[in-house]
A and B are shown apart, each in its own frame.
Chain A
Amino acid sequence: MAVVTAMKTKREKRFRLTYRQAESLTGFVMAAPWILGFLFFVAGPMIASLYLAMTRWDIFTAPKFLGLENFEVLLTDDNLFWKSFRVTTLYAVFSVPLQIAVGLGLAQLLNQKIRLLGMFRSIYYLPSVLSGVSIAIMFRWIFGTQYGLLNTVLGMLGIEKVSWLGNPNIVLISFILMSIWGSGANMLIYLGALQGVPTELYEAAEVDGAGSFRKFFKITVPMITPVIFFTLINGIIVSLQEFQTPFILTDGGPADSSLFIVLYLYRNAFQWFKMGYASAIAWIIFVYVLVLSILVIRSSQAWVYYEGSLRGRGG
């Protein structure tokens, strides 16, 4: 009897608590698709991938456990891997800052009383809307040695034909040029940020006699460092994972001089069926992205200005 009343009051209590509990329950239910997706498409595969990275596996026969051998081979005995690592790093080192600089320059030009602002903004953003396969295919034609647009235009200026995609020493420059052509996404983000910089700051600087350059480097750039920081991190992540551009433009050639690291991963996994080895490459990419991101985040305390904080420049 006592037990029954205890249960009864417990149940009543539970019913009284119902509102909070119902909210919790609904919260879980509504987040459930994401939670399931996270478990099945992110967390699960990550664990599996870590295991696979320690095996030799061709899909058809059972995986063979190797321990850290894949990583050892990759880091000490695989010239092609190091080549792809160097190619990708070089590309990122040049294309990311250049995209930021060009994007910032364009944004600064557009952030004035300018006619047709909307038109220019849309034009510059267009490559980012279309980026990917289309652009890569377009540039394969533009970079052509004999009939390409670029060499035709240069020819009119009396410059000799350049083998944009056929010369191992030039091919990466072509990739970087092409990436600068797509700086419009950064421009758009900076333009949004520039419009948030209080005009009083510029007025005050003018009273102090600062010229355009001083204003740009002492006010504009520091004030929008948070978005520069964002585009820097994002740029690093994206450029280290570059795949379709080299895949379409050069397929890694000539002589593997544009063998980006994800392209090398793709070959290992889906052409040579070295799933274990490819998984190890994936983890190296992951760690590399992580390390670079952490370095940038660490450094951000020195150069990113957050409003209302005392850290950083100008705080």
Chain B
Amino acid sequence: MTTLPMPNRRRTDAVQKLIIYAVLVAGAVIVLFPFLWTFSTSLKTPEQVYQIPPQLIPDPIAPENYSRVVTDRPFGRWMLNSLFVVVVSTVGTLLSCSLAAFAFSRLRWPGRDKLFLVLLATMMLPTQVTLIPTFILFKELGWVNTYFPLALPAWFARNAFYVFLLRQFFMTIPLDLDDAARMDGANNFQVYWRIILPMSKPALGVAALMFAQFKWREFLAPLIYLNRRESLLASIGLRTFMDETHGTDWELMMAANIMFMVPVVVVFFFTQRYMIQGVVISGVKG
């Protein structure tokens, strides 16, 4: 290729660019079209749903599907339940994981390095191994149909990945800062709370976003712990629109699905820089 004369080379470059753009646009259409289709279905009447050939832009549109989702079923309530679990467990994760990350990155104590290896190992552990005994434990405590099984473990840094993530970040903060603060009479908790945490806002933000996103769509745990209709989470509530015997109300299920996705998309839209950073960090350094 390098032997080509200059004008020709520019032309092959242009052709190459064109192909790249064509592939990228095709890929984007493949990714986006299912969402568009879902949105379109969510605005159709039951008859339109089964119309052949299907309409992409329904005529007339049926926005009442969205109000039916919250009136026929307590989907609004389920969304709020999810929000509650997400907020409580995200706060717990940030606190417990940042405390542990501080201890693992900035303090010397016996057994620290060995315990950190244990922590890394737990990140690889398939959740199924602990699933059944944990279920029994919470059942014996009488916590089935409460949100304790979903939120409490987060306060004990159950998702060790975030300890790892925050520790990686804390290690980039110079230790001199801690020493200077200690000279001024600060104890370790004050160093953690007044110096390290404020300096780690971006990392804490990334961790909060990643965890909240994971928690919002968590499925297996709410499936086994919650079975009372009004206390379901939205991720499980979505399933109730699937009905094997009477047929699925696709337009309602898709409306509910859009409602379930919108908060995530909105948050992603405004925070994508941080979220993308988080994924890249976990990939490159993991």
Specify whether A and B are partners: yes
What's the least CB distance linking B103 to chain A, in Å?
Answer: 4
Chain B residues within an 8 Å CB radius of A184: 31
Q: A-facing mask of B204-226, CB < 8 A → 1, else 0?
A: 00000000010001011000100
Q: B-facing mask of A239-283, CB < 8 A → 1, else 0?
A: 011011001100000000000001001100110000100110111
A209 and B2 contact, Cβ closer than 8 Å, known pairs A38-B118, A41-B134, A142-B34: yes
Q: How far is the CA of A164 from the CA of B256 in the complex (A)?
A: 24
Asked if B78 is an interface residue, CB under 8 A from chain A, the answer is: no
**B residues 10-30 touching A (CB-CB < 8 Å):** 20-21, 23-24, 27-28, 30
Asked if B257 is an interface residue, CB under 8 A from chain A, the answer is: yes
Asked if A45 is an interface residue, CB under 8 A from chain B, the answer is: yes
Asked if B137 is an interface residue, CB under 8 A from chain A, the answer is: yes
Q: How far is the CA of A141 from the CA of B36 in the complex (A)?
A: 13
Q: B-facing mask of A25-54, CB < 8 A → 1, else 0?
A: 111101101111110111011101100100
For the residues of B in contact with A, the DSSP-based class is helix
Asked if B279 is an interface residue, CB under 8 A from chain A, the answer is: yes
What's the least CB distance linking B88 to chain A, in Å?
Answer: 15
Q: How far is the CA of A122 from the CA of B264 in the complex (A)?
A: 13
| Beta-carbon contact of A33 and B130 below 8 Å | no
Q: Look across to chain A and name the residue whose beta carbon is closest to the beta carbon of B92.
A: A33
- Listed from nearest, the 10 A-B pairs whose CB atoms lie closest are A37-B156, A27-B109, A189-B283, A192-B280, A48-B133, A45-B133, A45-B130, A34-B157, A132-B217, A30-B103
Q: Using a CB–CB distance below 8 Å, which chain A residues touch chain B?
A: 20, 22-28, 30-31, 33-38, 40-42, 44-46, 48-49, 52, 59, 106, 109-110, 112, 114, 120-127, 129-134, 137-142, 146-147, 149, 152, 181, 184-185, 188-189, 191-193, 196, 206, 209, 211-212, 226-227, 230-231, 234, 237, 240-241, 243-244, 247-248, 262, 265-266, 269-270, 275, 278-279, 281-283, 285-286, 289, 293
